[in-house]
Every structure is written in C-alpha cells, then in structure tokens.
Structure 1
Amino acid sequence: MRDHERPPSARRAELLERAYRYVLTHGLAELSLRPLAAAIGSSPRVLLFLFGSKDQLIRDLLGRARVDELAALRRAREAGGADDFAAAVRATWGWLVDPAHRPMLVLWVQAYARSLSEPGGPWAGFARQTVEDWLGLLAEIGGGADGGGADPALGLALLRGALLDLLATGDAERATAVVERYLGLLAAAAR
C-alpha cells in the first residue's frame, strides 16, 4: 500500500494531532521518530505502520499545519473586513505578531526553507503552495489587485518580510511600524 493510500483511522488521527503538538514545540528540522514516538505515547513501528513512512508523516504534519494556518489567516482577514484590504492586512499582521502564534510560524519557516533547499521528499511544493494560499486569501479582499491600489503580491511580500524580520529579531515594534507605513502609503495612493 502506498503512503497516500493509508486508510484513515481514529488512532492515526489521534497520533497525528499529538505529533503536531510535539513539532510545534520541537520543530520539524531534525525530527526523529524515536523521540517523537516516546513523547506522544507510541512507538516508531506503530508510526511507520499508520503513516507508511517518515516522509508521509512529515507530509501529513505539514498538511495539518496548513489547515491551522489557513483557518487563522481567514479569521484574521474576516476580522479586518472582507472588503477593506488595509484593515485585513492589519488584522493579519496582528495575528502574525501575536507571540502565542510563534510556534506555528517557526514551523512554517522551517518547512518553507526546507521546501526551497530540498525540493523533493516530504517538503515538495510546500513553499509554492503557501504562496498561492496567501495570495488567494489576499486577492479575495476588496477585488484583489484592482481594489484601490491594493496589490495582493505586494501585501504578501510585506507580510512575509515583516514576519521574517520579526522572527529573526523579535522587534515587533519596528516590524509593525513597517506594516503601518505600507498601509499609510496604500491609503495615500487610493486618494
């Protein structure tokens, strides 16, 4: 049976959720089955049986993280307003800058970087898919690129750059000021 053809099971779903909580704390970069299995109350053999391979487990963990990421971004966008690009970007940034979300964002950066440096294996396509996901969400706001100078690609570049800066430096004040400067320029261009 191929990895992606494994039948769903309650035990598999339970262990995936536990493994997800584990990687939020410990990361994916150096994931090893033995410590993971011990931490989540399983064994490497059971994990391999349920997921088929370590690569498939990583793909499933990335998929699980993607579900959380997209749900959070949608909530932030909706909180900002479905038709107000600047408010939606501001609300999204508010979610990104919240220290409670740091573990998911660090996991995202790890997976993004591995997808670029190791384009095969379980990371394949992660970076491209996340760019498409975020662009899609930003394009839905206020008519996308035609919405008063609101360019989803520029908004995405701003958010990603500010996020990487924040994760590297911890300087939320400076990164937030950059986001606000962009939103101010956007408002001035729309006048």
Structure 2
Amino acid sequence: MSKEATIQSARQVELLEAAYQYALAHGLADLSLRPLASAIGSSPRVLMFLFGNKDGLVKALLARARTDELTVLDQLAQADQPIGLAPAVEQIWAWLATEEHRPLLRLWAEAYARSLVEPDGAWAGFARATVNDWLDVLAACQPQPERDSEDGATRRTLALAVLRGALLDLLATDDERRAGAAVHHQLALLRVVVTDIGAVPTGRHGSCT
C-alpha cells in the first residue's frame, strides 16, 4: 500500500469513527453531510471522496454499528461449552438494559425499521442480517442436540422475539423494570429441555445440557 493510500485509509477510519459518534448522538434519519462534516472537522467534499456518496457513508456507519453489536454477541459464543439458551438470553438482556448502550440500540432500532421500508437503499438487508446474526449466536449457545432440532430452532426464535420486543418497549418507554420482568417471565419457557422421558426444568444458571 502506498503512503498516500495509507494516509487516506487512516483518515477514513478516523472520520468514520467521528461520524459514528455523531450518529449515536443524532441518529441517521436526518443525516446531512454539511452539518456532519462541520461537527467532525471535515468537509462534504472529503466525505464524498472517501465514502463515495451519502449512501456509502450510511452503509459504512451501519457496518460500524453492526461491529459493536457482533462484538457483544460473539463473546457468548466463545465459551468452551455452550452456556445454554436461557443463560444466553439473561446475559444479552443485561447488556441491552444497560443505560449506556441506549444510543447504539436506538441507532440499531432506527436502521432496523428503515431497512424494512427502504429495502433497496443504503439500509438494504440490515434487518435480515441482524436477525441472522442474533440467531447464529443463540444457536451457538445451545447444546448440539437442541441446536440441530426443529424445536431448538423454534426456541431460539422465541428467545430472539422476546429480546427484540422487550428492547423496543424499553427504548420507547424507558421502563426497564416492566420490560425486564417480562423477559424473565418468558425465560421460564426456555428453561425447559425436551428429553427422551419428557420435559424437565433446568436450574436458573445451569446450561441447557
């Protein structure tokens, strides 16, 4: 890589990070290059040069947000043994409910909704990709017999639906106590393991084995 390309790449990373912090604070719905450039010490011309156009910048910002999301989710999938679906949901909800993560989660919710109504724009595929990301991580937290079964797929889909619904409720109302109570109520359904002799409950912190 040439020195010029290296400088350009470093500047692009620097400006992307600054733009990401701006998006966390202001959202993406009314993003305009001129006020953004002014806020991060750049110019619309430089942003256009580095990212192609506004859609290119939005795509880069969504990819940056997805990186933060995946960093959290991947931590669950790196255990030596699957931790089980219910413990995974508990850990994910604890992270989602932490107030300092609200800016990222509001940005996620905005991008998720926009990708549903603007499927061909810069937001294209974001909702589907994030659903697949979450389902993949939840699957990795399930023991293999459960993971590979039809019931296991249904259980992790239920888990994701509960988490997503509670998150949207939390972002809308800021009522963590009520949303959290609903999540923990639904966890009772996820602590049931289907065995050859029937359904038996697991312990609160045990893995689904």
State whether TM-score is above 0.5: yes
The question of 1:156 aligning with 2:160 is answered yes
Residues 1:182 and 1:85: Cα distance change in structure 2 (over 3 Å): same
Partner of residue 179, structure 2: 175
Partner of residue 118, structure 2: 118
Bigger fraction of residues in helix: 1
The question of 1:109 aligning with 2:109 is answered yes
What fraction of aligned residue pairs are identical, expressed as a percent?
A: 57
Q: TM-score normalized by structure 2? A: 0.82
Matches within 5 A, 1:125-136: 125-136=125-136
Q: Is the 8 A contact 2:77 2:140 kept in 1?
A: no
4+ aligned runs moved over 6 Å, structure 1: none
Residues 1:14 and 1:133: Cα distance change in structure 2 (over 3 Å): same
Partner of residue 29, structure 2: 29
Which ranges of structure 2 fall in alignment gaps of 5 or more residues? 1-6, 194-198, 201-209
Q: Is the 8 A contact 2:159 2:190 kept in 1?
A: no
The two structures, once aligned, show a CA RMSD in angstroms of 2.1
The Cα of 1:188 is off from its aligned counterpart by 4.5
Q: Is the 8 A contact 1:78 1:88 kept in 2?
A: no
Partner of residue 13, structure 1: 13
Q: TM-score normalized by structure 1? A: 0.89
What number of residue pairs does the alignment pair up?
Answer: 184
Deviates more, 1:170-179 or 1:67-76: 67-76
Larger Rg: 2
Q: Deviations over 1:117-164 (max 9, x none)?
A: 111110011111111111111111123682596511111101000101
CA–CA distance in structure 1, aligned partners of residues 68 and 172 of structure 2: 22
